[in-house]
Amino acid sequence: MLSASFWLRCSCVLFLCALGCDSNAPARSGRFTSADSAAVAQTYIREMIFVGQRQGLPLVAPLAFRTIDTGRTRGREVRGWLAHGPRWESFLDERWSGAPTGSAWTIVPHGDLEVAAGGPGEIEALWFERSGRSLRLEIDGVLGEWSRGPTARIHLFAATARVGGEPTRGAVVELLRLRRVREDDPGPTSQLLLTSGDSLTLLLVSGPGRDAAEPQSLAWLRNGDGTREWSDLRLEARGGKALQEARREIPRSWILSVPDAGLRGHVWALAYAAELGPERAGRRGVEVRYTVTGWIEIGGRRTRVVGLTRYSIE
């Protein structure tokens, strides 16, 4: 088990909660671009999420980077979480600004976060160390990459996370998106990265898409039979939980199927970390990252899986 003292406990901008906790607990304001700054800036969003399995529970480490470019200045922020089963903790939440030099997409070392470049997906490793505590994320190889129109891409890598020096093999999904000035809300989007802990990895992406010609869903599977990919994914969010701070409901479980693959499944949330965004039409946007557990069935054979679901709506 991860020791209770391993991660820093900080006053951060998250609502961290097991699904049985008090939904009236105070949520703090999120790190979304404010309505005023969004009117004059483009926001570059890049998130790297590690998913593995440790002691039968999901081990998840999201690192979220955001760059707000006004043309005259460039503000950057980075946030990091570690989750093991039903426990979420924030360990990194920093913001800074500077001159707009170099690429806005570049992950820049800052404070206790270090970056090694030159790997198969530009980043070779990311690591965080503070007061004897450490997390190191190593990119081992490219598994796949997909375009989601002119403003978004998805990359998938084999990866290893070392928490306190102990390695866990898994995968990293990297999400890149450019949020343009006065961009309309695309609707809810979901990304699921699931693993059996040994030979099976499943990536599911579902959303409305920003262009009629771009595919709206993606299912990618690697198991003992090799690697396969489909675009006909059916993903149904169920069991709404009231998130009063956002004045909306968020899902608690997902029913999934890929008809062409003979694949179906059901995963449900263990716990989550939620961030609140700007208000639109009386409700606030929200990004929710869940640790999940459940099962998938392929050709009648059922396999237990754990992993992460990332759900967002603006």
- CB neighbour burial string for 254-274, b if at least 16 within 10 angstroms, e if fewer: bebbbeebebbbbbbbbbbbb
Q: How far apart are CA 61 and CA 49, in angstroms?
A: 6
Q: How far apart are CA 292 and CA 252, in angstroms?
A: 9
Query: Is the pLDDT confidence value at 19 over 80?
Result: no
Query: Is the pLDDT confidence value at 289 over 50?
Result: yes
Taking only the tens place, the pLDDT of each residue in 26-79 is 333 333 333 334 445 789 999 999 999 999 999 999 999 999 988 888 999 999
Average pLDDT rounded to a whole number, residues 201-207? 93
Average pLDDT rounded to a whole number, residues 263-267? 97
pLDDT at 151: 80
Q: How confident is the model at residue 212 (pLDDT cuts 50, 70, 90)?
A: very low
The more confident residue out of 33 and 18 is 18
Does the pTM surpass 0.75? The reply is yes
Q: Which ranges constitute the DSSP H helices of the chain? A: 35-38
Query: Is the pLDDT confidence value at 100 over 70?
Result: yes
Query: Is the pLDDT confidence value at 2 over 60?
Result: no
**Residues 6 or more apart from 284 whose CB is under 8 A from it?**
245, 246, 247, 248, 276, 277, 278
Q: Residue 71: left (phi > 0), alpha (psi -120 to 50), or beta?
A: left
Residue 240 token pair: 């709404």
- Domain residue extents for the chain: 15-313
**What does the mean pLDDT of the chain come to?**
83
Share of the chain above pLDDT 70, in %: 82
Enter the DSSP assignment of 35.
H
Longest dimension (CA), the chain: 58
Q: How far apart are CA 135 and CA 164, in angstroms?
A: 6
pLDDT at 253: 95
Count other Cβ atoms within 10 Å, centred on residue 186.
Answer: 18
Q: What angle do CA 179, 79, 307 make, to 5 degrees?
A: 90
Share of the chain above pLDDT 90, in %: 55
